[in-house]
């Protein structure tokens, strides 16, 4: 675990991050249930994920983030 992960974030830093996300219109989605198999298949078809990474949730999340970033034109 890194030092930053174990240290609490002070209120100013949290506020700064919140404002940055708001300015960039970034939101975290929680409680959204998806079929990772379907998501992985779509990402593989579009070239964002390798077949051998289809069971790795971190790789799927990174590929989905790349896909959504490309989709949004960022």
Tell me: the pLDDT tens digits for 28-64?
Answer: 778 888 888 999 999 999 999 999 999 999 999 999 9
Which residues, including other chains, have CB under 8 Å from residue 50's CB and lie 6 or more apart?
44, 59
57, 36 Cβ separation under 8 angstroms: yes
- Would you kindly state where each structural domain of the chain is located, as residue ranges? 3-72
pTM exceeds 0.75 for this model: no
Between the alpha carbon of residue 8 and those of residues 13, 22, 30, 36, the distances in Å are 10, 21, 21, 32
**pLDDT number for residue 1:** 47
């Amino acid at each position: 675990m890194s030092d930053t992960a174990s240290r609490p974030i002070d209120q100013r830093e949290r506020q700064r991050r919140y404002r940055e996300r708001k300015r960039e219109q970034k939101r975290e989605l929680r409680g959204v249930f998806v079929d990772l198999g379907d998501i992985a298949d779509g990402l593989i078809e579009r070239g964002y994920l390798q077949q051998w990474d289809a069971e790795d949730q971190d790789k799927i999340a990174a590929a989905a983030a790349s896909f959504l970033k490309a989709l949004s034109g960022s």
